[in-house]
Amino acid sequence: TSGGVVAAVDLGATSGRVMLGYVDDGMLRLEQVARFPNGPVAGPDGLHWDFTALYRHVIDGLAEAVRREPGIASIGIDSWAVDYGLVHGDELLAEPFHYRDDRTARGVEAVHAKVPFEELYRRNGLQFLPFNTLYQYAVDRRLADAEIALLIPDLVTFLLTGARVAERTNASTTGLVDVGSGEWDRELAERLGVPSSALPPLADPGTRLGTLRGEARERVGAALDVIAVGSHDTASAVVAVPLSSADAAYISCGTWGLVGVELDEPVVTDAAREANFTNEGGVDGRVRFLHNVTGLWLLSESVRTWEAEDGAPIDLPELLDAAAAVGDIPLFDANDSRLAAPGDMPARIAAVIEESGAKVPASRPAFARAIVESIAQAFADAVATAGRLTARDIDVIHIVGGGALNRLLCQATADRSGLPVLAGPVEATALGNVLVQARAHGWFGPDATLEDLRRVVAGATAPVRYEPRTDS
Ligand code: LFR
């Protein structure tokens, strides 16, 4: 092995970061260079992202990374899935829509009228999520005017380098990739009236996509290459799960909790469809067989509401400590679709709890506890379902991402699943991004496998272990 340093751009639904990733003789270390807020912006025609601001932050962050570390070997970009920007010439036609915008409901109707969900599932293997890209395309009147539609990380790559490609792991979340072949399902696209501008050439993680050009190059201050990583953030996170057993499940926990297992082949049975399990594309052709659980979104949106009420920030660790001391809380369905949109989350959760006949928690700590336990229950249920659908005897759960820092959530997940939880690394997504670039540079030798990369993660980070408590 040898080593070097790369830059990882990781754009999440609540914040984005630019990190430096150092790899040296199997050693792995991250340094945060920039962090910036992100979130939905309400416009006259619905919820958008402020992509223009995000891109500016990316450029500024990369410039700072180059100042700190002139020897950067490449850049890798990942973000949340499904959302896209339309491009004409070198111009972005509008700020991309946010996947939580409710116009997608019309798209669902339009698509399912043409192709029933059962058939879609057979073809694309995706769980039903109302915001999957194919539903968004169905209500996008400007799609036909665009030269090309690019998912968020591909859009950043395009603006930086001019490359017009669709990275494969993220493309798998559009609903237009054939789950068997991994290629665009052109027949499906045609039936749905999706123009070929929405199906750019697919690129595998690890391939060099292009070099910074023009203004981007000037502002960043170096002619760096962009290398494709698992550009779907969850794909990068799964790369960096230090899987400790062949029967391990993982939960990538941030805004969402992505709960599942890694497979070599997709599972598109009736049972998998009915359980709403997805077969998303992983790095090296692996399958991310998982279910979306509404994760820490429920907590962060509640905190946001309380902070607005108070006009002051809330100390989250303090709130969670108080929550740990509360007893007897009601559970609710964390995946209730009424909790998907932003805004006044406590009131909407209260309505869901009330409807079930349970008593609404009176204090904020009790409320936070109900949220955490409900998420943990949804995690435990999804792990059990993943085991059932794949005939695996799941023996351990790895929690990676920001949720690994939430001790209450990790312990509750262990208790409710009856399985040990190994928490960490917190920075799985950025680590997965860095590792795939590092491998492309040959720093782990010519034939490093995902298992080799995971051994590097295991050597560099020590997970926190939570044993299930039988008395709860
Ligand atoms: C997590 C994530 C999930 C995807 C959701 C929406 O950040 O990428 O995998 O289902 O965001 O894009």
Ligand 1 centroid to 102 CA: how many Å?
A: 17
Residue 256: pLDDT band (50, 70, 90) is very high
Mutation choice for ligand 1 from 47, 129, 258, CB with most ligand atoms inside 8 A:
258
Closest atom of ligand 1 to CA, residue 131: 6
Can you read off the two tokens belonging to residue 312? 């002051």
Pair of tokens at residue 38:
């992100």
Test site for ligand 1: of 10, 11, 17, 80, most ligand atoms within 8 A of the Cβ: 80
ipTM more than 0.90? yes
- C-alpha distances (whole Å) from 73 to each of 217, 228, 324 are 14, 13, 45
Residue 82 Cβ < 6 Å to ligand 1:
yes
**472, pLDDT greater than 60:** no
Is the model's pLDDT at 62 over the cut of 70? Answer: yes
pLDDT of residue 257: 98
Amino acid in the structure at residue 470: T
Residues 262-289 pLDDT 10s: 999 999 999 999 999 999 999 999 999 9
* pLDDT > 60? residue 442: yes
Per-residue pLDDT of 389-428, as tens digits, reads 999 999 999 999 999 999 999 999 999 999 999 999 999 9
Report the half-sphere exposure of 67 (CA within 13 A, side-chain side). 11
Task: Provide the pLDDT for residue 29.
Answer: 97
Residue 82 CA: nearest ligand 1 atom is 12
Beta bridge partners of 260: 250, 290
Cα of 244 vs centre of ligand 1, distance in Å, is 24
- For ligand 1, whether the C-beta of 329 sits within 6 Å is no
pLDDT confidence band for 254 (50 / 70 / 90): very high
The per-residue pLDDT for range 185-233, each reduced to its tens digit, is 999 999 999 999 999 999 999 999 999 999 999 999 999 999 999 999 9
294 lines ligand 1 (CB under 6 A): no
pLDDT band, very low/low/confident/very high, at 1 (cuts 50, 70, 90): low
Q: Which residues partner with 287 through β-bridges? A: 263, 281
Q: How far apart are CA 11 and CA 289, in angstroms?
A: 23
Q: In this predicted model, what pLDDT tens digit does every residue of 144-198 receive, in sequence order?
A: 999 999 999 999 999 999 999 999 999 999 999 999 999 999 999 999 999 999 9
CA-proximal residue: ligand 1, atom 12 (nearest): 81
Per-residue pLDDT, 26: 81
99 lines ligand 1 (CB under 6 A): yes
Please tell me if the CB atom of residue 233 comes closer than 6 angstroms to any atom of ligand 1. Answer: yes
Is ligand 1 within 6 A of the CB of residue 174? Answer: no
Omega before 130 cis (within 30°)? no
Mean pLDDT over residues 235-246, rounded? 96
Listed residue (66, 81, 79) closest to 9, CA to CA: 79
* Ligand 1 pocket test, candidate residues 256, 278, 296, most atoms within 8 A of CB: 256
Catalytic residues: 233
In this structure, which residue's CA is closest to atom 7 in ligand 1?
80
pLDDT at 295 over 80: yes
* Overall average pLDDT of the 318-324 stretch: 97
pLDDT for the residue 471? 65
Residue 4 has pLDDT above 70, yes or no: yes
The predicted-structure confidence for 366-378, as pLDDT tens digits, reads as follows: 999 999 999 999 9
What's the chain's average pLDDT? 97
Is 258 touching ligand 1 by the criterion CB < 6 Å?
yes
Q: Does the beta carbon of 97 sit less than 6 angstroms from any atom of ligand 1?
A: no
